Every structure is written in C-alpha cells, then in structure tokens.
Chain A
Amino acid sequence: MANETQTMTQTMTVSIWRENGDDGRFEKYEVPARENQTVLDVVAYVQQHIDPTLSYRFACRVGMCGSCAMMVNGSPRWTCRTHVSKVVANDQLEVAPLRNLPVIKDLATDMDPFFEKWVAAEAVFHPSKTRHDPMAAITPDDPMRIAASEAIECINCAVCYAACDVVESNPDYFGPAALNRSWSLVNDIRDDGQDVRLAAVGSNGGCHNCHSQQGCVQYCPNELNPTLSIAGLKRETTKALFRRSR
C-alpha cells in the first residue's frame, strides 16, 4: 500500500477517445506516472480504477495476439509492448482507436473490413493436394521459401492498415497486411490458386494503389516489410500481363 500511495503522488494526464454511438471526443484522466508501464497498463488502469465503462480490446499482453493496437499520440502502436516513457510527449498521452476502421465503442474498432479484404485479396490458401498425397519437399534455402519466410509472422494487428494513407483515401484498397499475406502465398509452391490471386491483387483494390510511402514498414511491430511484398506483387502482376498478351 505504501508503494501504491507513493507512486500515486506523481500523476500524468491521459486523453482517451470516448465514443458510444455519438460523434466521440477525448476525455482526460489522471493516472499514476509509473516508471515502468505500457500504454495498455494505463488504459487498463483507467478502466479498472476510474471508469469501468471504458471499452478496449486486448488478450495476450505479450505482443502475440494483435488485439490491442491503438493510435498513441497520433501513431499506430501495439499498446501492450509500447512503454509510456518511449511515446509520451510533454507529459501528455493521447490514446485513440485505430485509424481507418469503424469504431464500435471507445477504443474498440470493428475489424471486419480489415479481414474481409484478406479474403478479397485472395490471401487464402488454395490446396493443390489432398491429405493422401505425400508432403511437398521444400528446402530452407529455396528462394521462394526464403521470400515467403520474410512475409510471415504477421499478427493481424492492423497497425499497418492504420498507418496507410492509401487505405484512408481509397476505401477499396486491400491494405498492406492482406497484400503481404498474398505475397507469402505467391511464394508457396503448394498453392494452386495463383491465377485468381494475381487477378485479385491486380484488381481495383490491389497492389498498384500503393504509393510506397512505407508507413506500414515504419510502424509494423514485428518489423515486417509489406512494401517489399507489394513491390513483388506489382512485378508478378506485370509479368502476368505480358504472359496473357502473348
């Protein structure tokens, strides 16, 4: 208790977006300014000690599940692995729901449009064999395996989707995460859906919308490179165009 009282003497102000079927606004809360706390800790403190009606989303708290992404001081972050001390500006912390997604309530966004675009981008596996066939032999040094490996480990947090200005200006754009997943499947020799995939990623919402601003690369918490993947898709769709015209 003594420690709690001591830490409570130092406080900081956090502005949190509140919205519940209305226009929404930032509300200020006084929270303990602890030396070692994450943005998610601060949000959880507000919900547990100040206002239990605050809605937000989290699950694993260790950077694996991709549930807790929010806009922190204007930039998209995974809040469970973002230390307040790294992002606080002038003792101010502003936490808002992810950009480019509809808000359900407060900090919780509707992820449906994000995942629907994975399907639209054909970022789904098309099996070429059945369980009765022998397993495909893919060596670790296979160039396609290496290219696929660079694009995996996405945790579907939608940080890249929120960082992307093209998603903001073009609601049809699939976004970096879906196209990155498509690229990993383009490099999967077991996949039997390459023609439909290239048609999908070359369509109106596809890879050619990307302006290579690389905000996705800048903010991806797992240090993936969706711009690299999208550039690969641009090359493959261009090659497919020449293949078709022959």
Chain B
Amino acid sequence: MIRPHRTHPLWFAFLLHRLSGLGLALFLPIHFYMLSLAISAPARLDGFLRFTDLTIVKLAEYGLVFLLAAHLFGGLRLMALEFLPWSPHQKTMAALAVAFAFLVSTLFFLKAI
C-alpha cells in the first residue's frame, strides 16, 4: 500500500532503485554460480545455456537487464545529485534514467530474439 504522502515521482524513483537493487542482489549469486559451472561442470552449463534460448527466459532477461540499467542510471543520478552542483531538474533526471534503462534493455531484447 503506497500511502498518500509518497505519491510523487521521486519517491517512485527511490522505490525503483531499491527494488532493482534487491533484484540484482538476488540475481548475482545465481549468476556467479552459473559462471562457475564453466570450470566445475561444463556439461551442466551447456544444458543451462540451451534453456536460456526459450522465449520466456529471454523475456525474463529483458526484465533483468532493465533492472540492471535502471540501477546503473539511477545510481548515476543519485551521485550527480550528491556530488555535482544542484540541478532543479530532479524529476527530469529520474525520468531520463528510466528512459535510458528502457532503451538499453529493449535494444538488448531486440538483439536477443
């Protein structure tokens, strides 16, 4: 339940940054584990890579790349906010971070399918 005092764009930018961070934190251990299979069990890795050819997995990867890009651009926005001279265009910067995240993840998806 999003309470009324939170219904402004920069709170949603915070929420996206937090959720994308949590999502990536959950993903990274699995990611590194799968990479480690290249050394410890190449056959299992090959099996998994065939599984990633499924469209549903590509769609999930689209979401994953979106989260990664949203966290990257959102993080740049926050560092700019804290360490560069103040910009009055905070909402525009948050919108641009999301727009770039969509651009990058959609390009990834179009190349993947």
Q: Does A34 contact B (CB under 8 A)?
A: no
A215 lies within 8 A of B8 (CB) = yes
Which of B6, B78, B83 sits near A165, CB closer than 8 Å? B6
Which of A211, A215, A225, A231 sits near B6, CB closer than 8 Å? A215
A177–B81 Cα distance when bound, in Å, is: 19
Given contacts A228-B86, A234-B82, A235-B83, contact A218 B10 (CB under 8 A): yes
B81 lies within 8 A of A212 (CB) = yes
Given contacts A214-B90, A231-B81, A231-B86, contact A219 B5 (CB under 8 A): yes
B14 lies within 8 A of A163 (CB) = no
Given contacts A228-B86, A235-B82, A235-B83, contact A213 B4 (CB under 8 A): no
Can you identify 18 A-B contacts, CB atoms within 8 angstroms?
A73-B4, A74-B3, A75-B4, A162-B5, A165-B11, A211-B14, A212-B81, A212-B82, A213-B6, A214-B8, A215-B8, A215-B11, A217-B90, A219-B5, A231-B81, A231-B83, A235-B82, A235-B83
Contacts of A211 in B (CB 8 A): 14
Helix, strand, loop or mixed for chain B's interface? helix
A76–B5 Cα distance when bound, in Å, is: 7
Contacts of A217 in B (CB 8 A): 10, 90
Contacts of A228 in B (CB 8 A): 86
A75–B14 Cα distance when bound, in Å, is: 18
A187–B81 Cα distance when bound, in Å, is: 19
Contacts of B86 in A (CB 8 A): 225, 228, 231
A231 lies within 8 A of B10 (CB) = no
Complex interface residues of chain B between 1 and 36 (CB less than 8 A to chain A): 3-6, 8, 10-11, 14
A163 lies within 8 A of B5 (CB) = yes
* Count of chain A to chain B residue pairs whose CB atoms are closer than 8 Å in the complex: 48
Contacts of B10 in A (CB 8 A): 212-214, 217-218
Contacts of A225 in B (CB 8 A): 86
Beyond contacts A73-B4, A74-B3, A74-B5: 10 other A-B pairs, Cβ-Cβ < 8 A, are A163-B5, A165-B6, A212-B78, A212-B81, A213-B6, A215-B5, A217-B90, A218-B10, A231-B81, A234-B82
Given contacts A214-B10, A228-B86, contact A75 B5 (CB under 8 A): yes
Separation in Å of the B57 CB from the closest CB of chain A? Answer: 33
Nearest-CB residue, chain B, relative to A210: B82
A225–B14 Cα distance when bound, in Å, is: 17
A213 lies within 8 A of B14 (CB) = yes
Residue from A75, A212, A227 whose CB has the most chain B CB atoms within 10 Å: A212
Separation in Å of the B4 CB from the closest CB of chain A? Answer: 3
Residue from B4, B14, B82, B90 whose CB has the most chain A CB atoms within 10 Å: B82
Bits for A157-178, please: 1 = Cβ < 8 Å to B, else 0. Answer: 0000011010000000000000
Contacts of B11 in A (CB 8 A): 165, 213-215, 218
Given contacts A211-B14, A212-B78, A213-B14, contact A218 B83 (CB under 8 A): no
